Each structure stands twice: as C-alpha cells, then as structure tokens.
Amino acid sequence: MKKITLAIFLLTLGVNAQTFPSPYCEIADADDVIVEEITAVDFAGTSITNSDDTLVLIDETATVVSLVPEETYTLEVAGNTNGFFETDIVAFIDWNKNDILDDAGEVYEVGTLFDTDGSDGQTVTLEITVPSDAVSGETRIRLTKTYTDMGGDGYPPSPAVIDPCGIVFNVFEQAIESGYGQALDFTVNIETLSVGDFEDNALAVYPIPAKDVLNVEYKSVLTGVKIYNVVGQEVLNRTTSSSQLQLDISEFTTGIYIVKLFAEEGQHSFRITKE
C-alpha cells in the first residue's frame, strides 16, 4: 500500500520569531510533516550524527565545514525511510550568500535512499565542486530528505518536490502535500582561493548601501574587480592597477550584488546592496 496521506495542503504565512533558521526560510507546514530522520552526514571529512525524530528542521549550524573554491568534496548522507519506501536527498548551498537557498547552481540532487533504518550502512553520495565565485566566509547548507514514490501497481507516481522550504511531494501528480522526511542545516566556510592572504581589515568599502558610485580602497594595488548579481551573472569585469576604485553602479537594478576583488596577495568577495 502506498504511504500517502491525503491531507489538505495549507500554506504557512506566519512569521517565526526564533533566530534559527533566520535569515533562511522555515519549513512550511512543519506540523503536517511526519518526521523520518536524517541520521548521518559527512561532508569534506566533517561528520554529523542525528537521532532527533521529532523536529522537522534540525539546527546543526554550530558545525562548520571549511571549503576552498574550485575544490571537489564528497557529501554522504544516511537516513531512515521507515520501511520499504524511498526518500530523496537534496542539498542546497547558498554560495552567493543572498539568503536564498535555491538559486541556479545551488541545488544538488544527492540520491535516493531505499528501505533503510539509517544505521545499516546504506548512504547516498555526491561529489560537489565549490564554484570559483563562491563568496568567502560562512554560509548555510540545507539538506532535505523527502518521501517519493515512482508509482506502479496501478498507481501513478507521487514524486518528491525539490523545495528548500518544504518537505512536500506531488500526490499522484495531482496535488502538493506535506510529506515524510526531515531537513538539516549546517554551516560551510568558504576560504580564500589564493594561497596568499587578503587583509580584510585593510579594506574600506563605502557607501553601504550604495546608489550610484561604490568606493573601494585597499592597502595595496587591486588588479581586478568583478561584480555578480544574485543569480551569478557577471555584470561588471574590470582590470585595474590602483588601490582606490570608484565603480559606477548607477545602471544596476536595485538589489544585492557580490563584489570580488583581486590583488597580488589574494582574492576577497563581499556583498553589497544597491539602492
């Protein structure tokens, strides 16, 4: 018999006052999700174990995994399917640090677990390469584990929905409903690509937020600057030979942008807001 609950799907619009998972989204309709836990995670050699089978979203943000741009790391996940069922594992990594977990290039379908209690050695793995333009510093990774059913025996499929803000599936491909599973958040720290050290405390950027001109001053010569919008599109690319820059952003649309600076001693990325 298919493990499907035909409950009415209700969208949660309330605001959660808790710090976690702010600034990222809660799991919508968490009260309607039946928890089937993520039991173990290993990413770049850092391990997390979890036995909480009550909370829909697990806070492991105190766990920090260090990564380097353009390097490739293995993500391995185990979890409880609660019987002869399948659950899909998806990873969402906010590389551009815009507080959105599913921009282009930030969603990774890790694999599908089947008929496992989460402690029998069955895992799914995926090799993940850190983008070269990932913003340095700490950012969020979220794993979701969501029940899925490919159909058969006269039943149409009920696939899991890829959604960082919900544990939901498409019942008989007719309606999106709360499902079975869990989500887990932890932290990744993107280190500088260069071997050298870019001195953050020797950098001045103003005004923030910026409107027409962004001023950048550094202790030594900057050799280049690139600016990306929140979906990773390059909107400015300039070769420089000065320690003081005035960047014309007057034609940029209002929103968040990622600025990447290049100097002989390293690279540095940071986020700005354009008014």
pLDDT, tens digit (0-9, with 9 covering 90-100), for 126-146: 999 999 889 989 999 999 999
pLDDT level of residue 267 (50, 70, 90 thresholds): confident
| Predicted confidence (pLDDT) at residue 233 exceeds the cutoff of 50 | yes
Where does 68-117 show beta strands of DSSP type E? 72-79, 86-93, 107-114
For 36-50, what is the mean pLDDT? Answer: 96
pLDDT recorded at residue 149: 94
- The reply to whether the predicted model has a pTM over 0.75 is no
Residue-wise burial string across 90-125, b where 16 or more C-beta atoms lie within 10 A, e elsewhere: bbbbbbbbbebbbbeebebebbebeebebeeeebbe
| Predicted confidence (pLDDT) at residue 221 exceeds the cutoff of 70 | yes
| Predicted confidence (pLDDT) at residue 6 exceeds the cutoff of 50 | no
pLDDT recorded at residue 133: 87
pLDDT level of residue 14 (50, 70, 90 thresholds): very low
pLDDT, tens digit (0-9, with 9 covering 90-100), for 100-124: 999 999 999 999 999 999 999 999 9
Tokens 């995670």 -> residue = 41
| CATH hierarchy code of domain 30-190 | 2.70.50
- Read off the tokens for 60: 């492991």
pLDDT, tens digit (0-9, with 9 covering 90-100), for 65-100: 999 888 889 999 999 999 999 999 999 999 999 999
Omega cis (within 30) before 21: yes
Question: In terms of DSSP bridges, do strands 180-190 and 57-67 run parallel, antiparallel, or are they unpaired?
Answer: parallel
Q: Considering the chain, what is the average pLDDT of its residues?
A: 89
Domain ranges in the chain are 30-190, 200-274
Q: In CATH, which of 2.60.40.10, 2.40.30.10, 3.40.50.920, 2.60.40.3080 is domain 200-274?
A: 2.60.40.3080
